[in-house]
Every structure is written in structure tokens, then in C-alpha cells.
Structure 1
Amino acid sequence: MADGLQSEVTERVYGKHRGTVVNPMDPERRGRLTALVPEVLGAIPTGWAEACVPHAGVGAGFLSMPMPGAGVWIEFEGGDVSRPIWTGCYWASGETPMPPPAGPPGEPTTKIWRSELGLTAVLDDASQTMTMSDATGQNKVEISVATGTVTVKGLARVVHDGQMVQVGSAGARHPAAFGDDLLIYLNQLVAIFNAHVHPGELAIGVLPVTPAPPVAPMPPPSPSLISTKVFVE
């Protein structure tokens, strides 16, 4: 074998190597990153490592970038160290993501995707639930297949917005009442009723003969009739 070819072959590096992310901010926005791979390059970072992803297409695919310091697996295309590829990530001890709020690591039946700030999607085959949540669990959407229940929770508010919002079923047809306008209308009715005087039995249609029995005034509607949590547009 020629010396040049022998040198080229021996300088090629194959297999996966542990690396640590240095810079995930790809100027071309293609999911590339640079990393330290001590056993191959020492203290010199790689060039921009291409992303190996489960799905990609024109304007489509899966993109999730590890942050600086995260563990990544690095390979080299054709063994050429000038053409790095990051093919996945790994966890050190204690770094495994947990369902929010903090709990034990998920079982094999639990699939977790969690961001560095704790925004989490959890698919749990054991409980048959799908959950999207923040780190505290105070803002979340949970679908329970087992019970047929969808729970939406917002720390400040939950907003339903659309050309039409139907509650109960797709066949819901009764319009919601505006509670504040209804309360004003009821107060007006009460005021008219309480101001009205019944003259009693009249003679010749004009002179009162028998006074009308007193009628207790109608109490005004209570503001508690209006929800302080549910509002409609």
C-alpha cells in the first residue's frame, strides 16, 4: 500500500465519540453545532457538526438543539474529522428529565420531552395520559384516554377563542347570556315592580273601594349570580 494512502487510512476516525456542546447557535440555522471531543481533538472544538435527525424535509422535520455543556455523540463522515456529525445526546448521572413537578424518572412506558426551563410533553402509556405542562404543573393541558377527560389549567386564565365556541358537544346550539347585561335588566325589572302601586278594587272603574293587600318588595338580584371566572365575548 502506498505511504500516502496508508497515512490517509490511519488518520480516519470511525465510531461514536463522547462530546460536549460548545456552540449550538448555527449561523445557517440548520441544526448544526460545535463540540469538544477530547479523545479525538483534545481541547480544540470541532467544526460545525451536521445534525443527524429522525425527520427532515423542505420546511419540515424535527429540530431540537442541545444547550452548551450538554453531552452529545459525535461521529465523522467517512472518518474525516473535518466533517463532524452529531448523531444524538446522552445524559450524565442525575440529568434524566422528569415529569413536572419534579418526581421520579419516567418508567419505560413514559415518553418525556422536556426543555431546559421545564416546558414538558409527557406521553404515559401506563396511565393512558398525554400532558403538556410547565415546570410547576400550574399551567397544563392533560388528556386522559382512560377516563375520557381533558383538563385545561391556567395559573392566570384560560382563553377559548374562535369563530364559534361550543360547549357540551358539536351540536350545542343555545347561545350564552351576557351575565352583566342580564343583571342590569333584572335590576330594572325589580325597580319597576317595586315602584308599581296596585289600587285594589275600583268602583265605576275609578274610585278605590278595597285597598290592595300590601305586596312585599322584590329583592334585587344578587351579584353572586355572575361568575367571577367565566367570561364570554
Structure 2
Amino acid sequence: MNLVDTLLDRSEETKKGKRVYGVASGIVTNNQDPDGYGRVKVKFPWLEEESESDWVKVASFMAGKERGGVFLPEVDDEVLVAFEQGDINHPFVIGALWSQEDPPPETNADGKNNIRKFTSRSGHEIIFNDDAEGQQEKIEIHSKGGHCILLDDSAGQEKVVVKDKTGKNILKMDAVQNSVSLESSTKISIQAPMIEIKADGVLTLKGGMVKIN
């Protein structure tokens, strides 16, 4: 008995109308669509026979020809499945589900719901912090290795900071002080066919040894 037969066999009503209304939870078994349409296969653990579906479309917040948001669920992820007009032959994945076994990367422990976050399988993150009360309004991008881009809109602290994983190589644009600083623990190199340095006020060059060629 295949997946369709199993679902349609659940009641006489669905047998006659061949309709399954509502939604169902499923587990992703395959996400490598041979046609490249972004589809997945799922199974339904709550069925007596965990039959695998055919390829199922995945809903996205935006989709079009070679554009849109690509967030395919991983194999073994729990997903929510709906059926077009109740037709068991036309399922599609409308979302993903967290559980006790697979908790979210942010828990909203303080109940203020200030954090929005995208976290990849490897641990790359994009974090949106809306904590205006705590003056922590900012956007952060973190790589798994620790590289970071910070866009800080916190009152009195407005700045943009790019920092590598060592924390010793830093580019900082300070909107409060109207200043730009570049720091490195070893060396900074600037190279171009033409370079112009101009100051409307004082130009200061300092070094243990200054060489001008």
C-alpha cells in the first residue's frame, strides 16, 4: 500500500471523496530534487505504514524565475503539509516545525520577543535585535568561524563595525563621532594606481620609523 492508498484508507468519507482536509505533520526524507525545482519528499510517522511521498513543492515567502528565498528543509526536519483543495495527490510543504527534540535557536526567555534570527546548519547567523528599551537596536551577521559585521542603531552608539574572528583586525565607522578607524595587529596595506591623502586641518603621521619614497 502506497502513501496515497494509506491516507485514503483512513475513513470511508475520504475514500469516497478522495479528500484530506486540514494539515498534517511530516518528516523530510529527501531534499535533492532531480529536476531542481526545490521540492522534497516526506513521510508521515503517524501512519501505520510510513510511506514516502512523491516530490512535494515547498512554499516560500518569495518565489519566481531564478529569484526568491531559498530555504529548503533538511532531511529529518519536521514540516507542516497541506493538501491543495483537500486533494491527497497534491500536497505541499507550508512550513517547518520545532519540537522538544529540535528546539529553536532563540527561546524568547524574557518574553519581550526582541530577537529575530536566521541560523544556518553550520552556525552562520543573521540577528535582528529590536530591543529599543535596552538600547540594543542592531543587526549582526556572524560566520561560524567568528567573523562579524555589526550595524548598530542603538541611541548614542550608532556605528558600523567589521571585525575578523581574531578581534584584532577592525574597521569601524562611528556615526556619533563622525570618524572612521582601521586597526590591525600586524599590517595595513593600501595599493592603487593613484592615492590621495588630504586633510582640511592637521595631517599627522607617526611611527617608530617613517619612510617616504
1:49 and 1:6, CA in 2 relative to 1: closer, same or farther beyond 3 A?
Answer: closer
Q: Which amino acid aligns with 1:131?
A: E
Distance 1:6 1:143 in 2: 54
Q: Give the TM-score of the pair, scaled to structure 1.
A: 0.60
Structure 1 match to 2:113: 108
Of Structure 1 and Structure 2, which has the larger fraction of its residues in helix?
1
Which of 90, 105, 109 is equivalent to 1:97? Answer: 105
1:227 and 1:15, CA in 2 relative to 1: closer, same or farther beyond 3 A?
Answer: closer
Displacement after TM superposition at 1:135 (Å): 3.6
After superposition, where does 1:205-220 map in structure 2 within 5 Å?
none
Which of 133, 137, 141 is equivalent to 2:142? Answer: 133
Of Structure 1 and Structure 2, which has the larger fraction of its residues in strand?
2
Find out whether 1:88 has 2:88 as its counterpart.
no
Structure 2 match to 1:18: 25
Stretches of structure 2 lacking an aligned partner (at least 5 in a row): 1-12, 176-183, 192-213
Q: Give the TM-score of the pair, scaled to structure 2.
A: 0.65
Find out whether 1:58 has 2:65 as its counterpart.
yes
1:227 and 1:46, CA in 2 relative to 1: closer, same or farther beyond 3 A?
Answer: closer
After superposition, where does 1:1-233 map in structure 2 within 5 Å?
7-9=15-17, 11-39=18-46, 42-93=49-100, 95-98=103-106, 108-126=113-131, 127-135=136-144, 138-146=146-154, 147-155=157-165, 228-233=186-191
Displacement after TM superposition at 1:48 (Å): 0.8
- 2:22 partner SS: coil
1:67 and 1:158, CA in 2 relative to 1: closer, same or farther beyond 3 A?
Answer: farther
1:42 and 1:107, CA in 2 relative to 1: closer, same or farther beyond 3 A?
Answer: farther
Per-residue CA deviations over 1:145-191 (Å, capped at 9, x if unaligned) read 1121112111269699xxxxxx899xxxxxxxxxxxxxxxxxxxxxx
Displacement after TM superposition at 1:63 (Å): 1.1
Q: Which amino acid aligns with 2:90?
A: R
8 A contact 1:98–1:106 mirrored in 2: no
Structure 1 match to 2:208: none
Distance 1:229 1:150 in 2: 22
Structure 2 match to 1:202: none
- 2:46 partner SS: helix
Q: Which amino acid aligns with 1:29?
A: G
Structure 2 match to 1:179: none
Stretches of structure 1 lacking an aligned partner (at least 5 in a row): 161-166, 170-225
Q: Which amino acid aligns with 2:124?
A: L
Structure 2 match to 1:212: none
Displacement after TM superposition at 1:106 (Å): 8.9
Distance 2:53 2:35 in 1: 16
8 A contact 1:37–1:74 mirrored in 2: no
Per-residue CA deviations over 1:120-165 (Å, capped at 9, x if unaligned) read 11101112110110246x21111101121112111269699xxxxx
Displacement after TM superposition at 1:83 (Å): 1.7
Name the % identity: 22
